[in-house]
Structure 1
Amino acid sequence: GVPGVQYLSGEYRLWRGRSQLNYGKNYGNFTIKGIQPEYQMLESQVITRGRFINEVDQKEARKVIVIAQDAKEALFKEEEALDHWVQVNGIPFEVVGMYAFESGGRGQNQSSAVFIPLSAAQRVFNAQNLVDRIVFSFAENTLVGSKMAEERAVNILSRRHSFDPADERALWLNNNVENASTFNKVFAGISGFLWIIGIGTIIAGIVGVSNIMLIVVKERTREIGVRKALGATPANVIGQVLLEAIFVTSVAGYMGLVCGVGLLEWIGGKIPGSEMFRDQEVDLSIAVYATLILVAAGTFAGLIPARRAAAIRPIEALRDE
C-alpha cells in the first residue's frame, strides 16, 4: 500500500457506448463502473434509497447494482426500482441502491453512471484482474502532501509493473489538489482584475456624482443664498450637500449589489449541476465593506460641490438668475 492513503478504490469502466441496461421493454445506455466500497467516500456519493456497494458484494462478486434517478426513470418509469433485476449487457443484476446525481458541467444532458462491484465487473466482462483507474485520497490535503503521495504511488506502481517512474507516458496522473491550486491561482488573477475594474468603476462614479452635485448646487444657488441669509451656517450647507451625495451613491450601489445577487441566483437556477455556481452567496463582511466604501465614495464625491455651496455669498446668490 501507499503510506498516508486514506481511501482507495480500483475502477473498471465500460463506457455507455458499449453498455446497455434493460428492464422489460425499457432500456438505456449508461457508463458502468466497477468499483470498490471506498469509492463512496472518494466521490462523496449520497445514497437516497437502499445502500451502496459493500465489502461483502466485493468479496463475493455479487451481481448488484446502484443507479441514479435518470436510470430509474429510463428503466422503471413509475415502478419501484429497489430489489428488482435489470439486464446489464444481458447479465442480470439486482438494484440495491440509488444515489444522488445532477447532470451539469460540460453537458447538462450528461447521463449518470451505474455502479457494480469491481470483482463482478472483472468477472462478467472478462477483465481478469485488470483495472483502468485507481482513485485514492490521503490525509494531508496540501499541495506538498499531495505531490509526496503521488510520488510514493508512482514509485510503488513502477516497481510492481516494471516501468520508469520518470516516464510520463507510462502512467496518467490527475492530482485534484494540484488542479484546485491551479484553479485558485487563475481565479485569484480574475478576482484581482475584477477589483481593478471595481475601483475604476467607483472612481468613474465619484466623478459622475460630483459633476451631478455641482450642477445641483448651481441650480439651487438662490435657495442656498436664502438659507444662508436666514441664518444657515456653512456647516449646514455642507452637511446637506454631502448627505444628498451619499444618498445618491448608496442607492445606486445597493441597486448594483441587488442585481449582482440576483444574477448569481439566476445562474444557480439555470445551471443546477454546476459546482462553480451552486449555492453562491454574498459574504456579510463584503457587504459591510461595500457599504463603507459607498459612504466614503459619496462623501468624497460631494466634498467639492459642498465646499463650493458653502462659499456662496447670500447677496450674490439672490442676484443669480
Structure 2
Amino acid sequence: MRIDLDNYREILDTLTRNKSRSLLTGFGIFWGVFMLVSLIGGGQGLKELLNSNFEGFATNSALVWAQPTSKAYKGFRKGRYWNMEYRDTERLRQRVPELDVISPILYGNGGSAYYADRKTSIDVNGVLPEYQFFNSPKMFYGRFLNDMDIAQKRKVCVIGKKIYKELFPGGGNPCGKFIRVDSIYYQVIGVDYNTSGGMTGSDGSKLLLPITQMQQVYNRGNTVDMIAVTGRPGVVMTSIIPRIREALGRAHTIDANDEQAIMVFNTEVLFQMMDSLFRGVNFLIWLVGLGTLLAGAIGVSNIMLVTVRERTIEIGIRRAIGATPRMILSQIVAESIVLTLVAGMSGILFAVFILQMLEMGNTEDGIVSAHFQVDFWTAIMAALAIAMMGVLAGIAPAARAMSIKPVDAMRDE
C-alpha cells in the first residue's frame, strides 16, 4: 500500500473535519491500550511485590521444625513434645546425601536494640554462614557472618533494614559500631536489606547472631528451633521429604509418617503455586486488555461506516473520474490505521508514564522493590496489535465504500 504526502493530508483533513467524533472514537482505542499495558506492567510489579516476601529464598528448599506428636509410637503417647538437636544436621547430611545446604536456626524471644538514645524492636536469630545460601542476603553495608565468627563465638551481628533506619537515622556505614541487645553489646558487621518475611523476622527487623554465640548467651544448649535445607541441583525437594522425616523420626523415636510432629515447609510447592497463580493472572490481564481493545476497534469500525455513508457522493465522484476500488480501499483502511495508531500509541505512552510513577513510589535508597514496567517486546506486540485492529476496523467500511456505484452515489442526497 503506497501512501504519498497528499494522502496523508487528506487523511488528516478527514479525521479533523469532525474533531469530537474522532476524539471520542480514538478514546476507545486509547483506553483499551492503556488498560492492556497498565495491567501487564502492574501485574509484573504485583508479582515482584509478592515475591519480595520470599526474596532470596532458594526455590528447592525446605524448613523443618518440631511440633507435638499426633500419633502414639513405640510406647510413647500421642501429644509428646520433642526438640530437634544440633547434631540432627549431621544426621541429615549422612542419611540424605541429596541435601546441599543444612543450616540450623535459633530464635530469640524478640526484644529491643539500643544505640545512643535510640531504640527499636528486633527479632533475634542465631544462624550459620551457610544460611545465606538458603535465604540470600542483600548486603547494603559490610558482610555476612563467616566461619571465624562461629568458631570464636564473636559478639557480632548483622542487622536488618528497619533496625538500621531506626538506630542510625542519619545514614552512613554503621559497621564497627556497637549496639546493645538486652545487656550485651554486639558489633555491627553488616546491614542486610533483604526484607523478606519468611521465618526469620519481617520488615527488616531481624538481627542475626552467630548461632554459637546465641547458644551461649541464651543458654540454649544443643537444641535448635528450625533447620533450613536446600537440595542439590536437579533434586526435587518433594521426593526427599519422606527421607528427611525418616532420619529425624529414627533419631527421636517418632513415627516417620507423623507429618504433624515433623513439620516440613516445602518452598518448592509455594513457588509452584505462585507461578500457577500468576499464569492465571496474566491470562486474565490479556483477556481483559484485548477485550477492551477489541471493543474500541469495533467502535472505530462503526464510526468509519458512518463516515463512509456521509461521504457517499464524494466516493461516487472519485469512482466516476477514474478511482479504482483498490484506491478507495486504501484510503479508508489508511484512515482507520492512522486513527487507531495515534490513539493506541498515546495509550502506551500514558500507561508507561503511570507505571513509571508507581515504580518511583516503590524506590527507596536507590533500590527498586518492584518494577512496574513492560518490556520492549511487549510494547512492540501491543503496537502490532493496534495496527492489526486498525486494519480489521477498516475492512468493513472499505468494503462498503467499494460497493458504491457512481450512478447510485449521484442520486444520493
TM-score of the pair, normalised by structure 2: 0.69
> Which residue in the other structure is 1:112 paired with?
205
Deviates more, 1:31-40 or 1:164-173: 164-173
Partner of 1:317: helix, strand, or coil? helix
- Residue type at the aligned position of 1:239: S
On the 8 A contact 1:10/1:35 being kept in 2, the answer is yes
The alpha carbon displacement at 1:80 in A equals 5.2
On the 8 A contact 1:50/1:98 being kept in 2, the answer is yes
On the 8 A contact 2:161/2:195 being kept in 1, the answer is no
The alpha carbon displacement at 1:104 in A equals 8.8
1:238-287 per-residue CA deviation (whole Å, 9 max, x = no partner) reads 111111112222333333333443444333333458x9972244233333
Matches within 5 A, 1:152-231: 152-231=243-322
> Which residue in the other structure is 2:176 paired with?
83
On the 8 A contact 1:65/1:115 being kept in 2, the answer is yes
How far apart in 2 are the matches of 1:103 and 1:186? 20
Deviates more, 1:180-189 or 1:6-15: 6-15
2:380 is aligned with 1:313: no
Task: Select 1:279's aligned residue among 336, 353, 371.
Answer: 371
The alpha carbon displacement at 1:35 in A equals 0.7
1:190-219 per-residue CA deviation (whole Å, 9 max, x = no partner) reads 222333334433432332121011011112
Q: 1:310 to 1:121 in 2, by over 3 A?
A: same
What are structure 1's unaligned runs of at least 5 residues?
none
Deviates more, 1:308-317 or 1:119-128: 308-317
How far apart in 1 are the matches of 2:219 and 2:249? 25
- The percent of aligned pairs where both chains have the same amino acid is 33
> Which residue in the other structure is 1:14 paired with?
108
How far apart in 2 are the matches of 1:196 and 1:119? 55
The alpha carbon displacement at 1:186 in A equals 1.7
How far apart in 2 are the matches of 1:285 and 1:165? 51
Deviates more, 1:150-159 or 1:121-130: 150-159
- Residue type at the aligned position of 2:265: N
What are structure 2's unaligned runs of at least 5 residues?
1-92
Partner of 1:304: helix, strand, or coil? helix
Provide the aligned C-alpha RMSD in A. 2.7
How far apart in 1 are the matches of 2:108 and 2:132? 19
On the 8 A contact 2:144/2:190 being kept in 1, the answer is yes
> Which residue in the other structure is 1:128 paired with?
221
- How many residues are paired up? 313
- Greater relative contact order (CA < 8 Å, ≥ 6 in sequence): 2
> Which residue in the other structure is 2:56 paired with?
none
2:127 is aligned with 1:35: yes
How far apart in 2 are the matches of 1:195 and 1:309? 33
On the 8 A contact 2:358/2:372 being kept in 1, the answer is no
How far apart in 1 are the matches of 2:381 and 2:185? 61
The alpha carbon displacement at 1:110 in A equals 3.0
Partner of 2:228: helix, strand, or coil? strand
> Which residue in the other structure is 2:30 paired with?
none
> Which residue in the other structure is 2:386 paired with?
294
On the 8 A contact 2:180/2:186 being kept in 1, the answer is yes
Partner of 2:259: helix, strand, or coil? coil
TM-score of the pair, normalised by structure 1: 0.86
Q: 1:76 to 1:239 in 2, by over 3 A?
A: closer
2:239 is aligned with 1:148: yes
How far apart in 2 are the matches of 1:263 and 1:137? 40
> Which residue in the other structure is 1:97 paired with?
190
Task: Select 1:252's aligned residue among 332, 340, 343.
Answer: 343
Partner of 2:185: helix, strand, or coil? strand
The alpha carbon displacement at 1:128 in A equals 1.3
> Which residue in the other structure is 1:239 paired with?
330
- Residue type at the aligned position of 1:163: I
On the 8 A contact 2:126/2:208 being kept in 1, the answer is yes
1:150-182 per-residue CA deviation (whole Å, 9 max, x = no partner) reads 233222222222222221211222211111111
On the 8 A contact 2:121/2:205 being kept in 1, the answer is no
Partner of 2:280: helix, strand, or coil? helix
Matches within 5 A, 1:43-54: 43-54=135-146
The alpha carbon displacement at 1:129 in A equals 1.8
Q: 1:104 to 1:219 in 2, by over 3 A?
A: farther
How far apart in 2 are the matches of 1:64 and 1:176? 30
The alpha carbon displacement at 1:99 in A equals 2.2
How far apart in 1 are the matches of 2:173 and 2:195? 20
